[in-house]
Amino acid sequence: MSSADPPGGAATTATTATDDRQHALLEDLTTRLGDAIVGSHIRNGDLWVRVRPDAWVRAARECKAMGFDYFCYLSGVDWLPHTWPNPKVIEGVVPDADDEAALPADPNADENPAPDESTSGEIVSGFAGGDTRFQVIARLYSTIRHIGVHLKADLDDAAPQIESWVSEYPGADWCERETYEMFGFDFVGHPNLIKLYLPGEFEGFPLRKDFPLLAREVKPWPGLVDVEQFPATYKGDD
Amino acid sequence: MAVSEQQRISYIAAQAADARLAVELQTEEMTLNLGPQHPATHGTLRIVAKLDGEQVTKADVICGYMHRGYEKLVEVRTYPQINTLINRIDWLSSFANEVPFILAAEDLMEVEAPPRAQWIRTMFFELSRIANITLFIGEMGVQLGAITPVFFAFRDREYVLNLIEEATGGRFHPNFDRIGGLKDDLPKGWISETKDAMRRIRGYCDELEDLLMGNEIFEARTRGVGVIPADVGLSYGLSGANIRASGVDWDLRRDEPSPLVWKELDWKVWTHPDGDSFARYWVRLQETREATLMVDQLLDGLPSGPIQAKVPRIIKVPAGEAWAHTENPLGEMGYYVVSQGGLGPFRVKIRSASFHNISIVPWLLKGVYVPDIITILSSLYFILGDIDR
């Protein structure tokens, strides 16, 4: 699933007619950003571009010059594997497709699911590749050309830090504050990097994968309620 | 981007107000705390405004009183379970929240709903738009001291909510969309009822146009107030009617490929060059009327056939990343779904419209007068659940 193409090289997915504009856009970006592009991916009419972290603001500036006038969003991804939802737990609750003929199962469906990738303990990065645990992702869009681009950049594991986009796109202000409190990324040059949603004294970064969700610690899976015995039939443990 | 004369003058006026603040005799600064419980905030939004006399010098928006952490919660849920959760983001048009998420999942699974399902989806999408924006159209009057419009709004919105309830079982949270199709088909007699309701909503739009649009007080309080130039609005991520009211001719329903069937209908994207509160109101009113006409066309052209594609009983989404966005009543709503091949998503970024529409408020409120804070907030139209996801 991950790919790290050389800049301007052939994209990973099969080229369809609908992706022509995306290929042209990628070429355009490559001429402007040069070797700052370290990965790209085109799928279903969408373009992903991964840039070097030190070129993060330059990428925004070039995109703005290319007519990407609309700031869509900015956020982060923590690629640390997580184990929920655990397929084994759910399969005990949900009857198998064979049990009932109500809905025919897809013949291509995997009856015995392969071991969950996320439990293997290795970081699996998404489109356009990645070398680190943390990534920042943003999307820009041109309201004239009607084309959008996702930009990604790798962040350092120990001290995730990247330059702020506020000077280029003022809409990044709140998004960076949210990403700061949720992931603990430091946006250098942000005029007012304080928490947006969380109370000031809140500790920890909730959207990091190693931040425990208390509800799931107490009850591993809410669906398990369904297999508990009713009080009348419950004979006790002894 | 073309900037109209009025837009330019209003912008200069705002700049001049800014300059005047710096030059005029300094008075003691006062802090005005607005909210979190204020009728104009549609929930719990707090605005701390620093005032110099009657003018705002600095406004801070404090949100998070209703933050529910959806982006964390969806990581421990399966795809069908998430559907009920994201219903609650923009609670006035719940069905419209479900659609982009389902489209993102369908994109990754490479399934496509049958045509009838797409038509019904589009229909409910537009019905949620009507249910949402009729309330805004009435509610804007209340902020200006006109009580009648909001009663009209609640009266006529009821008919749309009844339609949604009849077909889905839920007035506010239909939870009707499924990966690969829909939960149910339409009930008997629903189509003729819907036609009646659409006629009624059009009557309501006409009524409101008569009541408010030509009203001298309404115009005085909204014309030239809260002007957003198109380029500033876009760089803040404003979308939907808010940016169309600044003259940007951009609508995702028309401009982006979508499995939903807007492209097969005959309709118009409404824009207004002024970019002020009045323009935002005007555009929304026209869009509501346009939506009723679209529903009529959808009812006439509804194809027959199945409403659900074949999908596995236990839904597993292949690894990959997908972005799906639609033109929701409040603006662009999108889901960035990262799947690693499990029963639930690895990461979901929810791009909600109100969050970005409100992020311009600190910029916009600089130099305005205190009573205009409310009309500007109201004209931007946000739902708190859409800010605090």
Task: Indicate the CATH number for domain B70-387.
Answer: 1.10.645.10
Place of tokens 């931040």: A211
Count of Cβ atoms closer than 10 Å to residue A89 Cβ: 14
Provide the whole-model pTM.
0.81
Which H/E stretch holds residue B326? strand B320-328
The confidence score (pLDDT) of residue A24 equals: 85
Residue A30 CA from chain centroid, whole number: 23
- Of the listed ranges A51-55, A111-115, A149-153, the least confidently predicted one is A111-115
Name the pLDDT band for B350 (thresholds 50, 70, 90): very high
Distance CA B378, CA B47 (A): 13
Name the pLDDT band for B221 (thresholds 50, 70, 90): confident
Name the pLDDT band for B102 (thresholds 50, 70, 90): very high
Cα angle vertex B371, ends B368, B373, to 5°?
Answer: 55
Cα angle vertex B202, ends B207, B191, to 5°?
Answer: 150
Mean pLDDT of chain A: 74
Domain ranges of chain A: 17-227
- Of the listed ranges A228-232, B12-16, B70-74, B350-354, the least confidently predicted one is A228-232
Q: What mean pLDDT do residues B134-162 have?
A: 87
The confidence score (pLDDT) of residue A98 equals: 42
CATH architecture of the domain formed by A17-227: 2-Layer Sandwich (3.30)
CB pairs < 8 Å spanning A and B:
147
pLDDT in tens, A62-71: 888 888 989 9
Return the amino acid letter for B326. T
Strand ranges in B13-112 using DSSP code E only, listed in sequence order: 30-34, 46-52, 55-62
Q: Is B2 on the interface with A (CB under 8 A)?
A: no
Distance CA B134, CA B204 (A): 9
Contacting B residues, span 313-352, partner chain A, CB-CB under 8 Å: 313-314, 316, 319-323, 332, 334, 336, 338, 340-344, 346-347, 349, 351
The confidence score (pLDDT) of residue B310 equals: 85
Q: What mean pLDDT do residues B170-188 have?
A: 88
**Are the beta carbons of A165 and A138 closer than 8 angstroms?**
yes
The confidence score (pLDDT) of residue B337 equals: 92
Put simply, the answer to whether A71 touches B1 (Cβ < 8 Å) is no
pLDDT surpassing 60 at residue A96: no
pLDDT surpassing 80 at residue B40: no
Q: What is the dihedral of CA B361, B367, B371, B377, to 10 degrees?
A: -10
Contacting A residues, span 156-215, partner chain B, CB-CB under 8 Å: 169-171, 173-174, 182, 195-199, 206-207, 211, 213, 215
pLDDT surpassing 80 at residue B186: yes
Q: Residue A48: closest CA among chain B residues belongs to which residue?
A: B321
The confidence score (pLDDT) of residue A112 equals: 42
Distance CA B113, CA A153 (A): 35
| Structure letter (DSSP) for residue B173 | -
pLDDT surpassing 80 at residue A2: no
Which H/E stretch holds residue A137? strand A134-142
The confidence score (pLDDT) of residue A103 equals: 40
Name the pLDDT band for A199 (thresholds 50, 70, 90): confident
Distance CA A57, CA B364 (A): 25
Residue B307 CA from chain centroid, whole number: 27
Q: ipTM for the complex? A: 0.81
Count of Cβ atoms closer than 10 Å to residue B311 Cβ: 20
pLDDT in tens, B300-339: 988 988 888 888 877 888 888 999 999 999 999 999 999 8
